Protein backbone atom coordinates (compact mmCIF):
# COMPACT_ATOMS: atom_id res chain seq x y z
CA UNK A 1 0.00 0.00 0.00
CA UNK A 2 2.84 2.40 0.91
CA UNK A 3 4.54 1.80 -2.46
CA UNK A 4 1.35 2.47 -4.37
CA UNK A 5 0.87 5.82 -2.60
CA UNK A 6 4.52 6.80 -3.26
CA UNK A 7 4.21 5.88 -6.97
CA UNK A 8 0.96 7.81 -7.35
CA UNK A 9 2.44 10.87 -5.59
CA UNK A 10 5.55 10.65 -7.79
CA UNK A 11 3.41 10.62 -10.93
CA UNK A 12 1.40 13.63 -9.71
CA UNK A 13 4.58 15.53 -8.88
CA UNK A 14 6.10 14.77 -12.28
CA UNK A 15 2.94 15.89 -14.07
CA UNK A 16 2.77 18.98 -11.84
CA UNK A 17 6.36 19.98 -12.64
CA UNK A 18 5.73 19.57 -16.35
CA UNK A 19 2.61 21.72 -16.12
CA UNK A 20 4.45 24.48 -14.26
CA UNK A 21 6.98 25.12 -16.99
CA UNK A 22 7.06 28.78 -18.07
CA UNK A 23 5.48 29.54 -21.42
CA UNK A 24 7.50 32.75 -21.90
CA UNK A 25 10.72 33.19 -23.82
CA UNK A 26 13.63 31.66 -21.93
CA UNK A 27 16.78 33.62 -22.65
CA UNK A 28 18.99 32.03 -20.04
CA UNK A 29 22.49 30.96 -20.91
CA UNK A 30 21.29 27.44 -21.73
CA UNK A 31 18.67 28.73 -24.16
CA UNK A 32 19.16 28.55 -27.91
CA UNK A 33 17.08 31.68 -28.56
CA UNK A 34 19.01 34.54 -30.14
CA UNK A 35 17.25 37.89 -30.01
CA UNK A 36 17.06 40.31 -32.93
CA UNK A 37 19.43 42.80 -31.20
CA UNK A 38 21.99 40.00 -30.73
CA UNK A 39 21.71 38.99 -34.38
CA UNK A 40 22.11 42.58 -35.59
CA UNK A 41 25.14 43.28 -33.41
CA UNK A 42 26.74 39.98 -34.36
CA UNK A 43 26.42 40.77 -38.06
CA UNK A 44 27.75 44.30 -37.51
CA UNK A 45 30.81 42.83 -35.79
CA UNK A 46 31.44 40.59 -38.80
CA UNK A 47 30.81 43.17 -41.52
CA UNK A 48 32.20 46.44 -40.15
CA UNK A 49 35.68 47.70 -39.41
CA UNK A 50 35.77 48.01 -35.65
CA UNK A 51 38.59 48.24 -33.12
CA UNK A 52 38.93 45.60 -30.41
CA UNK A 53 35.42 45.41 -28.93
CA UNK A 54 34.01 43.98 -25.72
CA UNK A 55 30.49 42.99 -24.84
CA UNK A 56 29.01 44.70 -21.81
CA UNK A 57 27.39 42.51 -19.18
CA UNK A 58 23.91 43.20 -17.84
CA UNK A 59 25.02 45.30 -14.87
CA UNK A 60 27.35 47.40 -17.03
CA UNK A 61 24.65 48.04 -19.64
CA UNK A 62 22.00 49.23 -17.22
CA UNK A 63 24.47 51.28 -15.18
CA UNK A 64 26.22 52.87 -18.17
CA UNK A 65 23.02 53.96 -19.89
CA UNK A 66 20.85 54.61 -16.83
CA UNK A 67 18.10 52.35 -18.17
CA UNK A 68 15.89 50.30 -15.91
CA UNK A 69 15.93 46.61 -16.74
CA UNK A 70 12.11 46.44 -16.63
CA UNK A 71 11.93 48.58 -19.81
CA UNK A 72 14.04 46.20 -21.89
CA UNK A 73 12.96 42.96 -23.54
CA UNK A 74 16.29 42.27 -25.27
CA UNK A 75 19.52 44.11 -25.93
CA UNK A 76 23.04 43.71 -27.21
CA UNK A 77 25.85 46.20 -26.57
CA UNK A 78 29.50 46.19 -27.56
CA UNK A 79 32.00 48.98 -26.93
CA UNK A 80 35.62 49.67 -27.81
CA UNK A 81 37.94 47.90 -25.40
CA UNK A 82 40.36 50.83 -25.25
CA UNK A 83 39.63 54.20 -23.67
CA UNK A 84 40.62 56.26 -26.72
CA UNK A 85 38.23 54.90 -29.34
CA UNK A 86 34.58 55.73 -28.74
CA UNK A 87 33.17 53.04 -31.05
CA UNK A 88 29.95 51.70 -29.63
CA UNK A 89 27.13 49.52 -30.94
CA UNK A 90 23.97 49.36 -28.84
CA UNK A 91 20.63 47.86 -29.93
CA UNK A 92 17.68 47.65 -27.54
CA UNK A 93 14.25 46.09 -27.95
CA UNK A 94 11.85 47.69 -25.47
CA UNK A 95 8.84 46.09 -23.85
CA UNK A 96 6.57 48.65 -25.53
CA UNK A 97 6.56 51.99 -27.38
CA UNK A 98 6.49 54.15 -24.24
CA UNK A 99 9.47 52.35 -22.77
CA UNK A 100 11.27 52.68 -26.10
CA UNK A 101 10.92 56.46 -25.70
CA UNK A 102 12.51 56.23 -22.25
CA UNK A 103 15.37 54.11 -23.61
CA UNK A 104 15.85 56.59 -26.45
CA UNK A 105 16.08 59.45 -23.95
CA UNK A 106 18.68 57.63 -21.83
CA UNK A 107 20.74 56.74 -24.91
CA UNK A 108 20.54 60.35 -26.07
CA UNK A 109 21.86 61.54 -22.70
CA UNK A 110 24.71 59.03 -22.99
CA UNK A 111 25.44 60.11 -26.56
CA UNK A 112 25.48 63.79 -25.55
CA UNK A 113 27.98 63.00 -22.76
CA UNK A 114 30.25 61.10 -25.18
CA UNK A 115 30.05 63.96 -27.69
CA UNK A 116 30.97 66.51 -25.00
CA UNK A 117 33.86 64.36 -23.75
CA UNK A 118 35.23 64.00 -27.29
CA UNK A 119 34.84 67.74 -27.95
CA UNK A 120 36.95 68.48 -24.89
CA UNK A 121 39.56 65.71 -25.05
CA UNK A 122 39.48 63.76 -28.33
CA UNK A 123 39.02 66.06 -31.33
CA UNK A 124 39.57 63.26 -33.90
CA UNK A 125 36.91 61.10 -32.27
CA UNK A 126 34.61 64.12 -32.00
CA UNK A 127 34.28 64.27 -35.80
CA UNK A 128 33.20 60.60 -35.89
CA UNK A 129 30.78 60.88 -32.96
CA UNK A 130 29.22 64.09 -34.32
CA UNK A 131 28.06 62.21 -37.45
CA UNK A 132 26.26 59.55 -35.38
CA UNK A 133 22.92 59.61 -33.58
CA UNK A 134 20.37 57.75 -31.49
CA UNK A 135 17.48 56.36 -33.57
CA UNK A 136 14.16 54.87 -32.43
CA UNK A 137 12.10 52.62 -34.71
CA UNK A 138 8.94 51.44 -32.97
CA UNK A 139 10.10 49.42 -29.97
CA UNK A 140 13.72 49.26 -31.19
CA UNK A 141 16.32 51.87 -30.23
CA UNK A 142 19.87 51.96 -31.51
CA UNK A 143 23.07 53.90 -31.05
CA UNK A 144 25.94 53.36 -33.47
CA UNK A 145 29.11 55.36 -32.83
CA UNK A 146 31.62 54.45 -35.51
CA UNK A 147 33.14 55.62 -38.75
CA UNK A 148 31.10 52.72 -40.21
CA UNK A 149 27.78 53.97 -38.77
CA UNK A 150 26.19 54.21 -42.24
CA UNK A 151 27.01 50.58 -42.97
CA UNK A 152 25.72 49.60 -39.52
CA UNK A 153 22.43 51.35 -40.27
CA UNK A 154 22.11 49.39 -43.54
CA UNK A 155 22.66 46.11 -41.69
CA UNK A 156 20.13 47.17 -39.03
CA UNK A 157 17.50 48.07 -41.66
CA UNK A 158 17.96 44.70 -43.38
CA UNK A 159 16.38 43.02 -40.32
CA UNK A 160 13.07 44.88 -40.77
88-94/53-55 β-pairing: unpaired
Is 108 a domain residue?
Answer: yes
Is 130 a domain residue?
Answer: yes
Is 17 a domain residue?
Answer: no
Task: Please name which of 42, 38, 77, 36 lies closest in space to residue 56, comparing C-alpha atoms.
Answer: 77
pLDDT at 153: 96
Q: Per-residue pLDDT for the chain (160 aa), expressed as one digit of tens each?
A: 656 555 665 666 555 555 443 333 444 444 578 899 999 999 999 999 999 999 999 999 999 999 999 999 999 999 999 978 899 999 999 999 999 999 999 999 999 999 999 999 998 899 999 999 999 999 999 999 999 999 999 999 999 8
pLDDT at 79: 96
pLDDT at 16: 55
Whether the CB-CB separation of 67 and 28 falls below 8 Å is answered with: no
Within 8 A by CB and 6+ apart from 85, the residues are: 51, 125
Give the containing element (helix H, strand E) for 2.
Answer: helix 2-19
Whether the CB-CB separation of 32 and 151 falls below 8 Å is answered with: no
Is 110 a domain residue?
Answer: yes
Angle ∠(103,131,144) on CA atoms, nearest 5: 40
Domain containing residue 151: 34-157
Is 97 a domain residue?
Answer: yes
Is 7 a domain residue?
Answer: no
72-80/134-137 β-pairing: unpaired
Is 19 a domain residue?
Answer: no
Is 20 a domain residue?
Answer: no
* Rounded-to-integer distance, Cα 145 and Cα 95, Å: 24
Neighbours of 60 (CB within 10 A): 13
pTM: 0.78
pLDDT at 27: 41
Length of the chain: 160
Cα torsion 34, 38, 42, 45 to 10°: value is -170
Our count of domains for the chain comes to: 1
**3 state DSSP class of 49:** coil
pLDDT at 23: 37
Whether the CB-CB separation of 149 and 89 falls below 8 Å is answered with: no
Amino acid sequence: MYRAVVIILSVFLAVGFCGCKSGGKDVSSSSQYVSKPEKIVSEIEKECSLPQMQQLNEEQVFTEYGIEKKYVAYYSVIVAADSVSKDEVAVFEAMDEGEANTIRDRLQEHYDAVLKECDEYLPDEYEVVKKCSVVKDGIFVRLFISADADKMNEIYKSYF
